[in-house]
Each structure stands twice: as structure tokens, then as C-alpha cells.
């Protein structure tokens, strides 16, 4: 530590900077140091909103979008920051998630909506995310990071060790600020969500109920490899008991009846897509099938698979080995070898060997390349460029040099498994949807799952999506959600 006195002018300048960066927190009313103005908040949200919509897709159900927006806007406009350009969207993603960008841009996935059981729980999720915005939690995170000279950490969603500059080989293209909030921020957003819900006529207990359901999801094995609500909102089960006194106080102090809205909610989500959307490709075990593009690919058995609109990425759960599938443009009709050499060179990879090949009757280039990836170091990649009609698919299986030989056969087998689907095979790929059924006497989750179709969804999943513990059975006469093939 230096013992040199700070000049008076420098001290005055530092004090001026500090005062200029002080703002009043809209929720607490307290002064806080913030290195992001409200205009900057809104600007970040406006810039990132198109990226979110492009990468996830917006769920094609205008009535459901309007339903969610109506509930959310009522709470946002009665919050401490009613004048933000509040924007809400249901994303076409099976992942159980909801998140907020700075400035009032909030998203909820159809995946999490399948796990909610009434309007009060929906209001709880939306109110919680609104609370992150009104309390300026992202701004506080940014300020702490900048104050420590760390900067913001962009979300490396699936392969953080290979995330670097735009265009990195394993980049998922999401580039989102998935902040992991601290416990105090989470508890504050729980309280705010309950308060916003109650102030607008919904039962505040929906916050506790949705935390309980999300906690049960967390207790189950999650092998999706993609960001969920649990990744950025930790410890939901431990927060259930802490929110209950707040709920009881709100219930006692709020005049009039509070709405749970179970039947209204179930009616709105009947027919909701559950799991992958066939128009974006579906995962069936270790096999990826695309209905519209009419192809299939087998990934190594047991590997994690992430499907996004931009690409499909599979990872060995126990090692840094990957298979990446992308659709690439070839407007000039170049030959596949030239495309492969140029495309991999753009990533900084050089060819070791390779040549023309045939994969499932389709012309292809198959080769081996070497290069460097951030944090992985020297990498060897097995690469295939496959012509499929007027399209070209790029398949890259890669691993660090020291690991590559042990997975090379699996990577090559995956690349060579590319398979054309007949029109009949493609037409048979149908989505799974949420349906509403009344429980008959003697029904169990196992029986309901079996009647819906073998392998569509497990009995434990049916229990959780209906707000039950996995060891509880449904009650006769209840209306419950099941999952059926279209």
C-alpha cells in the first residue's frame, strides 16, 4: 500500500466521479453507486432483444403471447419503474427458464410454462423477473464487476471453455448476460414478485409454489447441458420457507379475493409444445432428426445434446470432446473440399489429411484438421462437409490433442451416421404437446404416462409438471397435465 498522500485535486475529482455515479435505487429508496444509467440499461436491452428472439425463436401462439403480456404488464406498470419500455415474450424453447435483460426486457420459455400450474405461479415467475429489473440487480452486478476491473462475463452457454471472439468454432451464438444472482438479490426478487402479484389480484403463494416445483426439477438429474432458471437463480427450495411469512402477511393485508386461476391457466396451455419443436429438429435418445430438412444424425451414446436454431452441439459429459452440426451457405457452388479448407482456415485450422467421400449416398469431404481453441489449447478435429440437396452441412468432431485418439472412432462414426430421411420418415416426426385430462379413480402417474405413449415422458416428470412430489400420486377428479404425441 502506498503511503504517498493523494493530491487534493485528485481526491476532489474522485469524489465528483463518485457523486455523479450515485443513484437512488427505485425499490429501496437508498443511494447506491451505479456505473450504468437508466438510458444505458434500456440501450443494452434494446440491443440484445433481437439477439434473444433470433437465437431462441418466439413461440408462435399470439393468444398465449397476449395472455402472458397482459399479466406481466399489469404488474410492471404498478411497480416502482412503470415507465420503462417493458417488453415480454414467450420463447420457443423447451428449456425451463425465464430471465430479464436490463431495461425491462423479460422472457419466459414455453418450457417453464409447462411446469407451472396456475396464473398465480405464472405471475410469480414474471413478478420475480420484473423484480430483478426494478431493483436494478443487473446494474449492481455490472458495477461490482467494473469496480473490481473484471468486466462483464458473457454467457458461454454450453461450452464455456471454447467461448472467445465471435466466430469461435464452438460458439453457440447466444452471447447473453445470464447473470447468476446472489442470494440477497434472489430473496428480494421473491418478495417483490409476491408483492406485485398480490397488488394485482393474484395469490402471492404462487411464488412459493413455483419455487417448490423448480426445486423439484433441480433434484432430478438435468442432462440438457443448457442454461436453465436454476443456473441463474440458485437455491429455490431453501427460499420456499423464507418467502412463506411474506406470503402470509400479503394474504392477510390484501383486501378482496386473490386469484389462483388454475382452470384459466390450464385452458391457455392446452396444446402447448412440450420438448423440441420438429421444425427445429428433435432429439430422440442419441439421435437428432430434422423433419423439414429431412436428415438424421447419431451422436455418441450418452453424450449431452443441445439443439439451437443456429446449430446442434453434443458433448461428452465426462470430457472435453464435442460434435458440432451446422448448416453452411454455398452461394457460389464451390466444391466441398474447397469449402472445407477455406471454412476451417477461417477458424485457424490447417488440414492434416482428407479427401472426397460418400456418406449415405451423398457427396462429401472428410478430413482431419489441427488448430487452437481458447482454453482447450491444441485441438484435433475430424470434419465432414456433406451436400444434401441444395444445402451443405458441416460436421465437426473435436477434442484436445491428448484426448483425441481415445474418441476419434466415436467422432468419425457420428459424422458418417448422417442419414437422409424419406418424405414418409420425415412426416412421422411429430411434436409432443400438453393435454389436460381428468384423473380417474385408481389412476397413477405411471398409468397416465403409459396411456399417453411409451417413452414420451416419465411418470416422475408428470408428477413434477403438476406440482406433485415424485412419490405422490394424483387425486381422483383432479384436472392434470399430461404429454401426448400430436
Instruction: Tell me the CATH number for domain 278-427.
Output: 3.40.1000.10
Distances (CA, A) of 231 to 44, 155, 235, 236, 318: 22, 11, 10, 11, 19
- Residue 166 burial (CB count, 10 A): 7
Nearest-angstrom CA–CA distance, 64 and 30: 38
- pLDDT average, residue stretch 236-253: 92
Is residue 62 helix, strand or coil? helix
* Sheet strands (E) in 285-376: 287-290, 295-298, 304-307, 311-315, 322-328, 350-359, 362-373
Nearest-angstrom CA–CA distance, 98 and 59: 14
Nearest-angstrom CA–CA distance, 449 and 481: 11
Residue 307: pLDDT over 90: no
For residue 32, give the C-alpha cell: 447506491
Residue 30 has what pLDDT?
67
Sequence-distant (≥ 6) Cβ neighbours of residue 243 within 8 angstroms:
187, 190, 191, 194, 207, 208, 211
The percent of residues above 70 in pLDDT, for the chain, comes to: 80
Closest CA to 171 of 396, 411, 402: 396
Nearest-angstrom CA–CA distance, 409 and 376: 20
Residue 158: pLDDT over 50: no
Angle made by CA atoms 111, 117, 121, in degrees to the nearest 5: 90
Closest CA to 106 of 124, 135, 127, 92: 127
Q: Please write the tens of the pLDDT for every residue from 106-156.
A: 999 999 999 999 999 999 999 999 999 998 887 776 665 554 433 332 222
Residue 279: pLDDT over 50: yes
* pTM, 2 dp: 0.76
Half-sphere exposure at residue 311, Cβ-oriented, CA atoms within 13 angstroms: 20
Q: Are 88 and 73 in contact (CB under 8 A)?
A: yes
β-strands 105-109, 87-91 pairing: parallel
Residue 235 has what pLDDT?
76
Is residue 175 helix, strand or coil? coil
Buried b (16+ CB within 10 A) or exposed e, 223-257: ebbbbbbbbbbeebeebbebbeebbeebeeebeee
Residue 223 has what pLDDT?
42
Residue 455 has what pLDDT?
65
Residue 419's DSSP bridge partners are 296
Q: Are 399 and 409 in contact (CB under 8 A)?
A: no
Q: Please write the tens of the pLDDT for every residue from 213-222.
A: 988 887 775 4
Q: Please write the tens of the pLDDT for every residue from 76-113.
A: 999 999 999 999 999 999 989 899 988 999 999 999 99
Closest CA to 101 of 91, 92, 112, 110: 91
Nearest-angstrom CA–CA distance, 38 and 450: 52
Closest CA to 386 of 322, 327, 318, 448: 327
Residue 436's DSSP bridge partners are 481
Q: Please write the tens of the pLDDT for every residue from 28-76.
A: 656 665 567 888 889 888 998 998 898 888 999 999 999 999 999 999 9
Is residue 195 helix, strand or coil? helix
Residue 174: pLDDT over 90: no
Domain residue limits, the chain: 36-269, 278-427, 431-485
Closest CA to 233 of 86, 370, 96, 337: 96
Amino acid at each position: 500500500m502506498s503511503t504517498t498522500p493523494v493530491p487534493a485535486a485528485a481526491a476532489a475529482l474522485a469524489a465528483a466521479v463518485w457523486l455523479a455515479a450515485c443513484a437512488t435505487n427505485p425499490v429501496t429508496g437508498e443511494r447506491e453507486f451505479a456505473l450504468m444509467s437508466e438510458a444505458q440499461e434500456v440501450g443494452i436491452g434494446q440491443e440484445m432483444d433481437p439477439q434473444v428472439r433470433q437465437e431462441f425463436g418466439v413461440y408462435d401462439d399470439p393468444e398465449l403471447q397476449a395472455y402472458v403480456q397482459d399479466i406481466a404488464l399489469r404488474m410492471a406498470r404498478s411497480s416502482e419503474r412503470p415507465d420503462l419500455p417493458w417488453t415480454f415474450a414467450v420463447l420457443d424453447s423447451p428449456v425451463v427458464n425465464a430471465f430479464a435483460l436490463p431495461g425491462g426486457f423479460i422472457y419466459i420459455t414455453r418450457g417453464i410454462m409447462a411446469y407451472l400450474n396456475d396464473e398465480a405461479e405464472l405471475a410469480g415467475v414474471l413478478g420475480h423477473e420484473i423484480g430483478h429489473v426494478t431493483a436494478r440487480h443487473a446494474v449492481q452486478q455490472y458495477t461490482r464487476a467494473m469496480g473490481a476491473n473484471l468486466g462483464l462475463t458473457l454467457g458461454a452457454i454450453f461450452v464455456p471453455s471454447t467461448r472467445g471472439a465471435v466466430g469461435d468454432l464452438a460458439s453457440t451464438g447466444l452471447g447473453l448476460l445470464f447473470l447468476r444472482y446472489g442470494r440477497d438479490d434472489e430473496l428480494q426478487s421473491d418478495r417483490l414478485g409476491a408483492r406485485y402479484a398480490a397488488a394485482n389480484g393474484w395469490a402471492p403463494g404462487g411464488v412459493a409454489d413455483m419455487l417448490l416445483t423448480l426445486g423439484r426439477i433441480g433434484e432430478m438429474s438435468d442432462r440438457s447441458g443448457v442454461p436453465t432458471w436454476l443456473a441463474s437463480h440458485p437455491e429455490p427450495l431453501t427460499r420456499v420457507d423464507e418467502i412463506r411469512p411474506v406470503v402470509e402477511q400479503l394474504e392477510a393485508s390484501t383486501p378482496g379475493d386473490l386469484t389462483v386461476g388454475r382452470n384459466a391457466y390450464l385452458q391457455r396451455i392446452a396444446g402447448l409444445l412440450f420438448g423440441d419443436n420438429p421444425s427445429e429438429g428433435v432429439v430422440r435418445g442419441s439421435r437428432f432428426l430434422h423433419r423439414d430438412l429431412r436428415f438424421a444424425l447419431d451422436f455418441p451414446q450418452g453424450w449431452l445434446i443441445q439443439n439451437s436454431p443456429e446449430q446442434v452441439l453434443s458433448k461428452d459429459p465426462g470430457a472435453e470432446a464435442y460434435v458440432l452440426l451446422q448448416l453452411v451457405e454455398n452461394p457460389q457452388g464451390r466444391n466441398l473440399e474447397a469449402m472445407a479448407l477455406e471454412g476451417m482456415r477461417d477458424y485457424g485450422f490447417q488440414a492434416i489429411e482428407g479427401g472426397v467421400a460418400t456418406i449415405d449416398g451423398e457427396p462429401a469431404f472428410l478430413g482431419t484438421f489441427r488448430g487452437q481453441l481458447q482454453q482447450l489449447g491444441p485441438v484435433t478435429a475430424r470434419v465432414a462437409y456433406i451436400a444434401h440437396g441444395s444445402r451443405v452441412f458441416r460436421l465437426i468432431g473435436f477434442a484436445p490433442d491428448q484426448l483425441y485418439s481415445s474418441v476419434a472412432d466415436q467422432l468419425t462414426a457420428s459424422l458418417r451416421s448422417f442419414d437422409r430421411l424419406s418424405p414418409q420418415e420425415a412426416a412421422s416426426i411429430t411434436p409432443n404437446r400438453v393435454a389436460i385430462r381428468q384423473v380417474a379413480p385408481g389412476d397413477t402417474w405411471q398409468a397416465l404416462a403409459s396411456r399417453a405413449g411409451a417413452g414420451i415422458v416419465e411418470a416422475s416428470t408428470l408428477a413434477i409438471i403438476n406440482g406433485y412430489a415424485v412419490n405422490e400420486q394424483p387425486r381422483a377428479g383432479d384436472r392434470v397435465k399430461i404429454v401426448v404425441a400430436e
